[in-house]
Structure 1
Amino acid sequence: MNDASRAPYAIDEVAERRAASRSIARMTGGQSLTPIQSAERSLIHRTEVARPEVDAFRELRTKLLATMDGNFVTLVAPVSRGSGGSFVARNLAAAFAFDEAKSALLMDCDLRHPSQHTTLRIDTGKGGLIDYLEDPDGDAADVLYDTGVPRMRLLPAGRLRDSGVEYFSSFRMRLLLDSLRSRYPDRYVFLDSPPVRGGPDARILADLADVIVLVAGYGRDTPSAINQAASSFDPNKFAGVVFNQGV
């Protein structure tokens, strides 16, 4: 096949991506959060004024985009409880959503101690991840919630469970992730993981992710604990360690 015969397909692909990007830009949901509301939710706010915390997440976004091709699933895993993994996952998703050509989906996978819906002050009356996985007739769209950040959605954990092993290793979970990332060519999925220490859930979720970010609590997690947690993951997927001094 020569170059001339391939050209129409290339043009069609570009047109499709542009149309998808326009659709993403219109994906604003409800009313956007104000700076005060964002602060109340421990969430960065898009602003033209340089702010260290916002710039830090934008820099992390840039580094991830530079190492990956196409859209991808990122696992954000804390070394231990209290390291701030949920804080990093939430704000990294927000940083991706700041780009009008991208959308972000934050999935709360900490089934024992889910926190994203509470922090973001979202009423999850229609359920969440576990409710969807347990209902073979469930529709994922029913459990995606507007966060107040344009182009950013939340898939909360749903019902409390002692462990996510059987859920995260299920075929339905894999199908869900494939569907969520493929609906838009520029959708980025972020898995808010339980701590690496104390259970197998983070390691199982790592099999579903394309890239892994480890979160260590500054002054909380020891170098040996960080190294041990990092060794749990495939080095080809491991992007590095984020030291969190905040929430």
Structure 2
Amino acid sequence: MTNAIAPRKDEPGDDSRVAGRSIAPRMPVTALSPVQLEDRATIYRSETARREVDAFRELRTQLLSLADGNFVTLVAPVSRGSGGSFVARNLAVAVAFDESKSALLVDCDLRHPSQAATMKVSLSNGGLIDYLEDPEGNAEDVLYDTGVPRLRLLPAGKSRETGAEYFSSFRMRLLLDSLRSRYPSCHLFLDAPPVRGAPDARILADLADVVVLVAGYGRDTPAAIAQAAAGFDPKKFAGVVFNEGV
């Protein structure tokens, strides 16, 4: 995996709140073993240097240099199969390596959600769509331990053909604003659907502070990458990650 991240100016979020119990990411009851993490295509710390882990640590360092405090990062693949979910998950894990920080991974690919299945998380209370469709829903109920210290998952829940009306809703914005403003050590990563073919990723970009585009190495053409990047606000656009595999 190769990467290129460009610096940008940060924009502060508001301090909107959502009533309810604590929704801060917490430590899992039982941490996963290295074998279990490899089975989940998830990086982990070890005594031996590993190229993949080092790459995500470098990406994390570059992202954290863009702004003070926590922020919302949108990770959007150019096309399906580019590896956006893989990059989003492991960027969140890399942030959670730091014991002073935590991370929340939000699966926003409503048509093809994958994070819960990949991380083998059992959805007892649904996910993001269930929360957004229920005015009385409590965000804490749809945040799940992942087995990775300081990383929790907000899965997509019910599948939908499009997320445009959900992602542009006031309830969605209020949820994200609450998570970031109430818990300053928690960084949010939005796993977006592909940029090509639907407006969802661009709508989600309005909710994010930083946008990272994921291109499949040897898969997405320079023209396709440039076209996808052009759809995002240059002030938010951090750069392109070239992913060699999903």
Normalised TM-score (structure 2): 0.89
- Correspondences of 1:53-68 after superposition (within 5 Å): 53-68=52-67
Determine the C-alpha separation between the residues in 2 that align with 1:49 and 1:186.
28
Aligned equivalent of 1:115: 114
Instruction: Give the Å deviation of 1:182.
Output: 2.1
Aligned residue for 1:231? Answer: 230
Distance, in Å, in 1 between the alignment partners of 2:79 and 2:45 is 29
**1:159 corresponds to:** 158
Q: Which runs of 5+ in 2 are unaligned?
A: 1-23
SS in 1 for 2:91: helix
TM-superposed deviation, 1:148: 0.5
- Aligned pairs for 1:96-245 within 5 A: 96-245=95-244
Residue identity matched to 1:46 = R
1:83-120 Cα shifts (integer Å, max 9, x gaps): 00000000000000000000000000000000000000
Deviation at 1:183, TM superposition (A): 2.7
The alignment partner of 1:179 has SS state of helix
| Partner amino acid, structure 2, of 1:53 | E
Shift of 1:135: 0.4
The answer for the alignment partner of 2:43 in structure 1 is 44
In the alignment, what sits opposite 2:82? 83
Once the two structures are TM-superposed, the CA of residue 27 in structure 1 deviates from its matched residue by 3.1
Counterparts of 1:217 and 1:186, CA distance in 2: 31
Q: CA deviation at 1:49?
A: 2.1
Map Cα deviations across residues 50-94 of structure 1 (whole Å, 9 max, x no partner): 111111001000001111121000000000000000000000000
| Contact map agreement 2:26 2:152 (CA 8 A) in 1 | no
Once structures 1 and 2 are overlaid, which stretch shifts more, 156-165 or 176-185? Answer: 176-185
Larger Rg: 1
**Structure 1 spans left out of the alignment, 5+ residues:** 1-23
Q: Deviations over 1:114-153 (max 9, x none)?
A: 0000000010121000000000010000000001100000
Report which of the two has the higher share of helix.
1
Provide the residue aligned with 2:12 in structure 1.
none
Partner Cα separation in structure 2 for residue 182 and residue 30 of structure 1: 26
d(CA) in 1 for partners of 2:173, 2:148: 26
Percent of aligned pairs sharing the same letter: 74
State the alpha-carbon separation in 1 of the partners of residues 38 and 195 from structure 2. Answer: 28
Letter in 1 for 2:98: D
DSSP 3-state at the match of 1:111: coil
Amino acid at match of 2:139: A
Structure-2 separation of matches of 1:47 and 1:237:
33
Runs (4 or more) in structure 1 with deviation over 2 Å come to none
Q: What's the Cα RMSD here?
A: 1.1
CA deviation profile, 1:169-212 (whole Å, cap 9, x unmatched): 00000000011112321100000000000000000000000000
